Amino acid sequence: MSASAVQTVPIPLTPEEAEAMAQRHIKKHHVAMVLLHWFNAISWLLELATGAGLIVSPYYRFAPLWYLQMMEGIFGSRSNMLRFHIAVALTWITVFLVYAIFGFRSYLRVEIVQNEIALDADDLRWLKVRTLLLLGRTQEELPPQGAYNAGQKLFALLVYTMVPLVMLTGLIMTFHWFGSAIVAWAMVLHLFAVGMVVSGLMIHVYMGAVFPEEKPAFYSMITGVVDELYAYRHHFKWWRTVKIQQQLWRDGLTSTAPGEEPSMKEEPDRDPCADEAAR
């Protein structure tokens, strides 16, 4: 089979095909991304828990009184809690800075950012059909999706725009940069940006950790791989790209003489093939 023969639209699978695909795995997340994601999730958990405990003004407070007292009891005082909040935040910012500097060329490439957040026509239709499905107003099939569906892309877009604002306003407040008027604005913007991320996080955590259909996505954030059947049914366009890369890789191997290095014009991502070869 040539790479161009990989099917262009999802077709119904026989039970045998579905079973075979459920047994095969393809790589979705690099180990560095898995580690960074869970480091980020733990940092957010600690920051949200202490951040909510630090807002005691009756005008802004949203945590109940018992929570504020409990948190103050755990840390001994509110200033200790603030020190902890700042220490976690500075560690979080430093890790992301290191990631941005050293991972820039591997992970922050334009095409990766485009795959994760740019919405195409299928994504826009996915958002419409998904909403109508939730309202019980259509029986239409969801359009095929890339590595991330349109909902995940919107969440990623929200995170990528709000997180720099959270970091910058946090630094302004910590080091009292630019005078007290800017610090006062930073407080409001900090709360706003965190609130925006939290609104998306509620859906993200529900979809990632609870929603039954997305269980393979949750495990992929631990093992780095998903089964092919899940990829085929939920992320068909990504599945197709991986299959084409695998086929190009095989074609490259078969067109070379024994002992000769395969020379490939279009160098594929080798991880999926490495995964398959390991089986």
Instruction: Give bridge partners of residue 227 from the DSSP assignment.
Output: 25
* Residue partners of 27: CB distance under 8 A and separation at least 6: 224, 225, 271, 272, 274, 275
Q: Which one of 205, 211, 269, 274 is in contact with ligand HEM (CB under 6 A)?
A: 205
Is 247:1 a contact under the CB 8 Å cutoff? yes
Beta carbon of residue 229, minimum distance to ligand HEM (angstroms, whole number):
15
Cβ–Cβ under 8 Å, residues 228 and 22: yes
Other Cβ atoms within 10 Å of 242 Cβ, number:
24
Choosing from 56, 70, 113, 209, the residue that interacts with ligand HEM (CB under 6 A) is: 209
Q: Which is nearer to ligand HEM, 44 or 236 (CB)?
A: 44
Find out whether 237 and 210 touch, Cβ atoms under 8 Å.
no
Closer by beta carbon to ligand HEM, 150 or else 248: 150
- 236 touches ligand HEM by CB under 6 A: no
Alpha carbon 29 to chain centroid distance?
10
- CA–CA separation, 252 and 265 (whole Å): 9
Among the residue ranges 50-58, 101-109, 149-157, 259-267, the one whose residues contact ligand HEM (CB under 6 A): 149-157
Site for ligand HEM in 151-180 (CB under 6 A): 152, 155-156, 159
Exactly one of 148, 232, 238, 239 binds ligand HEM (CB under 6 A); that residue is: 148
- Residue ranges in 115-144 that form contacts with ligand HEM under rule CB under 6 A: none
Q: Least distance in Å: CB of 158 to ligand HEM?
A: 9
